[in-house]
Structure 1
């Protein structure tokens, strides 16, 4: 785990530091909600719905996701390989089983998950499905411009 005080610190190290600071003040939350600023496409209602979904499913952690209808590939040792379909029997994308991409917008988890796993996800994991637009993350100037467009 990297130092929470530098610009290469992991999100988990910052979350653990924050939880420890709360507990040092005898504040013991039932749930933690982590909203990444690089994934700003969300509403207050969606945050509330995500929390409600985690509770209703009696989950331990929740990650927001967006549907993906893409054919995925990887290259290993110079060999191209299809990941989520057989390219020799190309399916219609509409007929594929639903797949989701983690969009980084909303994470909800119980404190024990973070403490035991050193990770925001663990135990029984629930998925909160958001729009495909919510999957846009700000990692470049072009991403920022796209988010500005979507939010205007």
Structure 2
């Protein structure tokens, strides 16, 4: 709880990953991948409950072993490749309200594929959100460098290149370009009522929580996993 407001952390962990099979329980530096997100949520000063939404009894068992609540198995129709994260969030909110008679003022989404977040990211993001009374959500963002539009190109039908924004290929130093950010998966927080209304964390009253490049890595495939393992050893386990 923070400033008399309650927080539910939801960790969506379906079992049907195609890019890296069973990635959510793959061993990362001695723990199943999703355990890093579970433990970060449990260590937060402000989160009241951490729940894992999964379609797998095996995943549910592992989640409970690491301290998460798993009061249901997610229906298969909400666990397809075409299912959205919002589908699982809404199902969780509805289950807590209708089956457990519990509601929360804020939802904190902790994607298990972003295990490099630290507990301080969760707590700082909550504090920053509350300092800005005109905002309703906060999400993780990271400054893009090599992928800045100033350095991007289009490929023409003759396979020649043309600048995406820098049409004349004018030499540009990094110090001269405008900062541009991309969405990443470290943290998502929203007022529950607004999330249900917008069905999205992204809107005009959403703040950005800036994270460094190394922390923005997300697990999609084996290469991502290996890079994250290296960053975990360098930045998290070292400390």
Shorter-chain TM-score tier: 0.7 to 0.9
2:181 aligned with 1:100, yes or no? yes
Length, aligned pairs only: 150
Q: Report which structure shows greater RCO (CA 8 Å, sep ≥6).
A: 1
The correspondence of residues 10-21 of structure 1 with structure 2, limited to 5 A, is: 10-21=84-95
Query: Normalised by the size of structure 2, how large is the TM-score?
Result: 0.56
Q: Secondary structure at the match of 2:138?
A: strand
Q: Which structure has the larger Rg?
A: 2
Q: Secondary structure at the match of 2:95?
A: helix
Q: Secondary structure at the match of 2:94?
A: helix
The answer to whether the Cα contact below 8 Å between 1:68 and 1:98 also exists between their aligned partners in 2 is yes
CA distance in 2, matches of 1:123, 1:38: 26
| Cα shift readout 1:29-75 (whole Å, capped 9, x = no counterpart) | 11110011111111001110011111112221111011112233365
The answer to whether the Cα contact below 8 Å between 1:74 and 1:82 also exists between their aligned partners in 2 is yes
CA distance in 2, matches of 1:42, 1:11: 19
Q: Secondary structure at the match of 1:116?
A: helix
Q: 1:36 aligns with which of 106, 111, 120?
A: 111
Provide runs of 4+ in structure 1 moved above 4 Å. Answer: 74-83
